[in-house]
Amino acid sequence: MRTIFLASLRTFGRRYIAAQIAVSASVALIVVIGVLIAGARAGIMAADGAPYRKADYVIRAPKDDPQRRPSCCPGTLNTAAAIDLIARLGENASGLGRVALPLRRQDGAPLRSGNLRDETTVGPIANAKELRWQALVTGRLPAGIGEVVLHVWDANAMNIAIGDRILVGEGPTVAPLEVVGFVESPTTWTQASMYVTWRQYLQWRDHPTFHIGSVAVRGKIGRLPQGMTAYAPEAYVTESLARLNNGTDALALLLLLFVCVALFISIMVVANTFSILFAQRCRDFALLRCVGATKRQVTSSVWREAAVIALVASAAGTLIGVALGYGLIPLVNALAPRTPMGFPRFPAFWLLGASALGLVVTMIASLVPTRRAVQMSPLAAMRPDVPVDIHTAPGRFQLALAVALLVTGLVSLAFAMIEDSKVLMVAGGASVIVTILLIGPLFIPPMVTACGTLLGRYGRLAAANAARNPRRTATTTTALLIGVTMTTAVLTGLATWRTAIDAHRDTRLPIDVALTSLNKPISTTLLTQVRQTAGVEHAIAVNGAVARMTGLDAPIPVLAARNAEQVARDGGRFTKVAPGTIALDLDSFASRGGTLRIRPGSRVTVRVGNRQADLRVVLLSGWGKAGVIAPETLKLLTDSPEPHVIWARGSRGANWLQLVDDLDELADATGGTIEDRLQARAAGNRQLDVLEWSALGLLGISVAIALVGIANTLGLSVLERARENALLRALGLTRKQLRQILAAEALLLSVVATLLGMSIGIVFAWVGFETFVVRALRAATMEVPWISLSVVMLVVALAGLLSSIIPGRQAAAVPPAAGLLLD
Amino acid sequence: MIGQRPPAPRGGLHSAEAADVRKDVFQTPAASARALTKTFGRGEAKVHALRSVDLDLPRGRFTAIMGPSGSGKSTLMHCLAGLDQADSGAVTIAGTDLGSLDDDELTIFRREHIGFVFQSFNLLPMLTASQNILLPFELTGCRIDEAARARAAHLAEALGVANRLAHRPAELSGGQQQRVAIARALLLSPDLLFADEPTGNLDSAAAAGVLHHLRRTAHELGQTVVMVTHDPVAAKYADDVIIMQDARIV
Ligand SMILES: Nc1ncnc2c1ncn2[C@@H]1O[C@H](COP(=O)(O)OP(=O)(O)O)[C@@H](O)[C@H]1O
Ligand SMILES: [Mg+2]
């Protein structure tokens, strides 16, 4: 059998190229994901793990520590105990933590940059060289009390040079410090704007935000004080990583789902390749059986062929994946500098897993076609007609199975919506897809024929060609259909999610930018200036008064807005408060260090001058540090309301960062302050964008594999139809016409797949909507992104046309005489 | 097995041994069929391909089965060769009842006892002529040894295709393809060589060459040869002629 095996490989090897591309692409996809995950892990170890790199132990509070110290930084160590421990271990211990302190120049001039307003974070630098994780850029590290190094970014932002003197802290703990150098430090929770010696750091030990989060230790610890646990550095970082991963679980699930889709489509493309090739070679197999090859001999020969194909494809896929993955890491680093990736060692597990999966997928795909080929009676060799696909129509068993699957699939989907069950949804979706695969030969060829008549003469011929192998056509189409279904579902799902999130955000963040001026009323000049700032769609001045409220130390403006609908994203609904109540922005008051001590429903006294009102508190969010009251209430408090706040709305598509900067400058110049919700909005949009584009990119690979499948089916069918094509050519069909027939066939397959896939995809999206979105956001409605879907349709149809180019050239290259002589 | 014998001198196909075999030509038949019946289809479309056919094929002779198209010749041959199962009746070859063998046993039996030449598509297109000739040997799972090579070369020489051995079937003429097929069928010295319309696709000169070689095979090698044909000219080369009509031997 070796001779046959080798000769088959030599003769038919090239016909497996499409199958190999499919397998290679899937394997490469998995390897790329593996490399990127390993890269992210290495990046996190390099960043989060930096302070512990040379340590033997990390000491931190146990996870279920009952007494959590400062509310800003939960889960930190008992400060006194940690300081004692570090004192005992001396050089071998490095305390890690931060304290937030006021900051001024020594001459009293304020220091500010961006969001940092006269405040800075200070961290300690380890005594032992080995435990220092900050990298010196210029100057030197602090040697004792009175010296400080700045993070080079902060130094640049605040315009501080080496040798400058700054004042850090307040009152009795204020420290004059000389800047002796600049450092860089990785983005970890221990990162601070400036670093001082441990002794200096301890001077602020009584400050409310002072904390020691963990201690890195070299060598032995000795007795561990109560309320502390020691970890190995690797384990500590891995655990932090796990906490981080909780947030990305959904992403991992999505990745897994897309890899499964790619694999499934590959299986179909490979199975189709084997089916077609074996159908073409069935007379070879029959002849072999005639001259005495047992079934097992034929099977093992075919399997060895499949194994070689799989090995070559998996190896190629792994290589491509490694190259792509490692190539992507610098690209990701360039595009997203906030999440640095490291260069990982070879993720052996992923590489081996992906290759093995490629092998398994190919072998599974060859199973059914091989069984069919071997079941062939030896007599088939002697029949003069060429038998093509053997099992074309689904048998009774397949039909029954299909009906059962369809029913269970639909029932699962229904229950998924009622019970909000993800598992049922995926299971139901998979059942429906398998149903299509099973009974596709029944309804896909008629659809192709129906569409073919629309395409005219070539369409009819092409449809006839496509309809003659229903099973083959159905499998080819279904592979693409699945890709389109998933793409449609994801696009529709994300569009719906985005609309729902937008609506939700509009009520939570009604005002984009609020400019507050407590000291003096807003001038009309300022309002005009704000309105003329680039990126401002509209701005209004809101009347009110500056008030003092029980539970708050600082005065706040209380406002009664009459025309908020001009700028508010929720249509001004948040300003419609009942008389006798005051609405407060929960986020604004909660964000600055402490929590708001005022509970919803509690009563507060609001005083303006010598008038006062007793009001009930309503907590809402999204307009900054101001109380919103009814006009009636405002009348009680003051007779001459004045504008103290401008509310502005950013226009769509504007550069929001720039806009916030510009307004900040205006506010600074007039002694006001601004608060904005635009950055939160932009960050949310960016996240959705990243999700959408990664999902589309991953699905694009699946769709590309399916399109390779179309090219493959056409290419192999062309070989089979060489004689017919030669006859057509002999009868006067031009090369161009022959190519057009094939192009029409490819177009028909891709259009039918797209139409079916989009219909099913929208249904799936609806199920997903009922299962996920409605549960999260009650008021959501489903959005079908018709424009994106039309683009997908156009792209797939064009790609389908493109896939007919190579087969068309092949077919047209055969001279009629040569075609007629072929056996 | 003849496969292990040394090649005979040029010009003769083991004529001395052939003479020995001929002595017991009429003692046991090479193959026999009893009450073979086979139908295709059901109800209205039911077709009788064989109606209770009895047949003994004598050893070492060249027998032609003749008859009009559709008379059941091919079906008879398929049943005799174990390629198809009769509805009822028994086929015995070399003392073995084919009905008692399962698919694998039947395949191995075919490999060792029966050779085939078909009207067309005799050779695997991806193998060279010599690889095609050696195919039955390869299927036995033995290493291809010098003796097998020598026998293949000898058969190729005798059938006049020795200079085409490195070619693929597509590069051979129809007559050459049929002669390569005969060489392959003879490689393991089967008890029976079946040929179904071996000259159906050939011009008369090529056909004459193939028929000539089939007859030499019977006469000089003592090989039992059964040929199905509807061509009376082809039948003239045979020692015995069996006529079939309407699914019966007449
Ligand atoms: N696979 C088959 N299915 C249905 N009918 C068949 C089949 N094979 C042969 N027959 C029928 O059986 C009869 C005998 O056929 P066959 O043995 O091929 O005849 P011959 O070889 O003499 O031309 C014919 O009527 C033919 O139509
Ligand atoms: Mg016949």
Quote the CA–CA distance of A486 and A106 in Å, as a whole number.
Answer: 62
Residue A775, pLDDT score: 67
Please state, for a pLDDT cut of 70, what percent of chain B lies above it. 89
Q: Are strands A175-184 and A165-168 parallel, antiparallel or unpaired?
A: antiparallel
Please state, for a pLDDT cut of 90, what percent of chain A lies above it. 7
Q: Is B70 in the pocket of ligand 1 (CB under 6 A)?
A: yes
Single out the residue of B78, B151, B73, B205 nearest to residue A381, CA to CA.
Answer: B78
In ligand 1, the atom with minimum distance to the C-alpha of A379 is 1
Chain B neighbors of A294, CB-CB under 8 A: 104, 107-108
Residue A67, pLDDT score: 52
In ligand 1, the atom with minimum distance to the C-alpha of B228 is 21
Minimum mean pLDDT range among A227-236, A553-562, A707-716, A800-809 = A227-236
pLDDT in tens, A267-317: 888 888 888 888 778 778 888 888 888 888 888 888 888 889 899 999 999
| A365 has pLDDT over 80 | yes
Residue B43 φ/ψ region, left for φ over 0, alpha for ψ in the -120 to 50 degree band, beta for the rest: left
Neighbours of B49 (CB within 10 A): 24
- Type and span of the H or E element at A35: helix A17-47
Q: Are strands B224-229 and B192-196 parallel, antiparallel or unpaired?
A: parallel
Q: Are strands A513-516 and A642-650 parallel, antiparallel or unpaired?
A: antiparallel
Does B233 reach chain A within 8 Å, measured CB to CB?
Answer: no
| A164 has pLDDT over 50 | yes
In three-state secondary structure terms, B184 is helix
CB contact at 8 A, B121 and B197: no
| A74 has pLDDT over 60 | no
Quote the CA–CA distance of A623 and A323 in Å, as a whole number.
Answer: 49
Through-space distance between the first and last CA atoms of chain B, rounded to whole angstroms = 36
Give the minimum alpha-carbon distance from A278 to chain B in angstroms, rounded to a whole number.
14
CB contact at 8 A, B79 and B50: yes
**Any domain includes B122:** yes
Minimum mean pLDDT range among A4-13, A632-641, B52-61 = A4-13
Average pLDDT score over residue span A585-598? 59
Query: What string of DSSP letters covers B73-109?
Result: HHHHHHHHTTSS--SEEEEEETTEEGGG--HHHHHHH
- Type and span of the H or E element at B65: strand B62-66
Residue A337, pLDDT score: 58
Give me the residue label for tokens 């129809």. Answer: B174
Residue A243, pLDDT score: 59
| A114 has pLDDT over 60 | no
Quote the CA–CA distance of B217 and B188 in Å, as a whole number.
Answer: 13
| A387 has pLDDT over 80 | no
**Residue A199, beta-bridge partner list:** none
Residue A179, pLDDT score: 93
Quote the CA–CA distance of A302 and A558 in Å, as a whole number.
Answer: 82
Residue B14, pLDDT score: 43
Q: How many domains does chain B have?
A: 1
Q: Is B233 in the pocket of ligand 1 (CB under 6 A)?
A: no
Query: What string of DSSP letters covers A176-232?
Result: EEEEEEEEE--SSTT--SEEEEHHHHHTTTTSTT-EEEEEEE-S---SPPTT-EEE-
Nearest to B118 among A4, A289, A382 (CB): A382
CB contact at 8 A, A105 and A166: yes
Give the minimum alpha-carbon distance from A379 to chain B in angstroms, rounded to a whole number.
6
CA angle (A330, A331, A332) in 5-degree steps: 90
Long-range pairs of A565-569 with CB within 8 A, sequence gap ≥ 24: A566/A538, A566/A540, A566/A649, A567/A511, A567/A512, A567/A537, A567/A538, A567/A539, A567/A540, A567/A647, A567/A648, A567/A649, A568/A510, A568/A511, A568/A647, A568/A649, A569/A505, A569/A506, A569/A507, A569/A509, A569/A510, A569/A511, A569/A512, A569/A649
More confident residue, A254 or A467: A467
User: Which ligand is closest to the CA of B77, given by its number?
Assistant: 1
Chain A neighbors of B138, CB-CB under 8 A: 1-4
Neighbours of A500 (CB within 10 A): 21
**Any domain includes B82:** no
Minimum mean pLDDT range among A29-43, A293-307, A386-400, A638-652 = A386-400
Nearest to B139 among A291, A295, A379 (CB): A291
Nearest to B121 among A287, A289, A293 (CB): A287
In ligand 1, the atom with minimum distance to the C-alpha of B68 is 22
| A388 has pLDDT over 80 | no
**Any domain includes B50:** no
CA angle (B117, B129, A2) in 5-degree steps: 100
pLDDT classification of A69: cutoffs 50, 70, 90: very low
Single out the residue of A246, A466, A314, A291 nearest to residue B110, CA to CA.
Answer: A291
Average pLDDT score over residue span A641-668? 85
ipTM above 0.90, yes or no: no
Q: Which residue is closest to A377 within chain B, CA to CA?
A: B83
Give me the residue label for tokens 């000049």. Answer: A525
User: B39 alpha carbon to ligand 2 midpoint, in Å?
Assistant: 15
Chain B neighbors of A284, CB-CB under 8 A: 124-126
**CB-count exposure of residue A53 (10 Å: 0-12, 13-18, 19+):** middle
**Residue B194, beta-bridge partner list:** B116, B226
**Residue A167, beta-bridge partner list:** A104, A176
Pocket test for ligand 1, best of B75, B77, B196 (most atoms within 8 A of CB): B75
Average pLDDT score over residue span A639-650? 89
pLDDT in tens, A181-238: 998 877 666 778 899 999 999 999 888 788 888 888 988 888 888 878 888 877 777 6
Provide the domain limits for residue B129. Answer: 59-68+99-249
Please state, for a pLDDT cut of 70, what percent of chain A lies above it. 87
Whether residue B116 and residue A289 make contact (CB cut-off 8 A), yes or no, is no
Whether residue B126 and residue A7 make contact (CB cut-off 8 A), yes or no, is yes
Give the minimum alpha-carbon distance from B162 to chain A in angstroms, rounded to a whole number.
20
CATH number (domain holding residue B193): 3.40.50.300
**Residue A675, beta-bridge partner list:** A514
Mean predicted lDDT score pLDDT of chain A: 81
Chain A neighbors of B134, CB-CB under 8 A: 3
Quote the CA–CA distance of A704 and A668 in Å, as a whole number.
Answer: 54
Does A247 reach chain B within 8 Å, measured CB to CB?
Answer: no
Residue A430, pLDDT score: 85
Query: What string of DSSP letters covers B114-162?
Result: EEEE-SS--S-TTS-HHHHHHHHHHHTT----HHHHHHHHHHHHHTT-G
| A338 has pLDDT over 70 | no
Quote the CA–CA distance of A298 and A729 in Å, as a whole number.
Answer: 37
In ligand 1, the atom with minimum distance to the C-alpha of B73 is 22
pLDDT classification of A73: cutoffs 50, 70, 90: low
More confident residue, A335 or B108: B108
Whether residue B139 and residue A297 make contact (CB cut-off 8 A), yes or no, is yes
In three-state secondary structure terms, B238 is coil
Residues contacting residue A549 through CB under 8 Å, at least 6 positions apart? A556, A582, A604, A605, A606, A607, A627
Pairs across A and B, CB distance < 8 A: 85
| A463 has pLDDT over 50 | yes
Whether residue A379 and residue B83 make contact (CB cut-off 8 A), yes or no, is yes
pLDDT in tens, B228-241: 998 888 889 999 99
pLDDT in tens, A129-143: 888 888 888 899 998
Residue A140, pLDDT score: 92
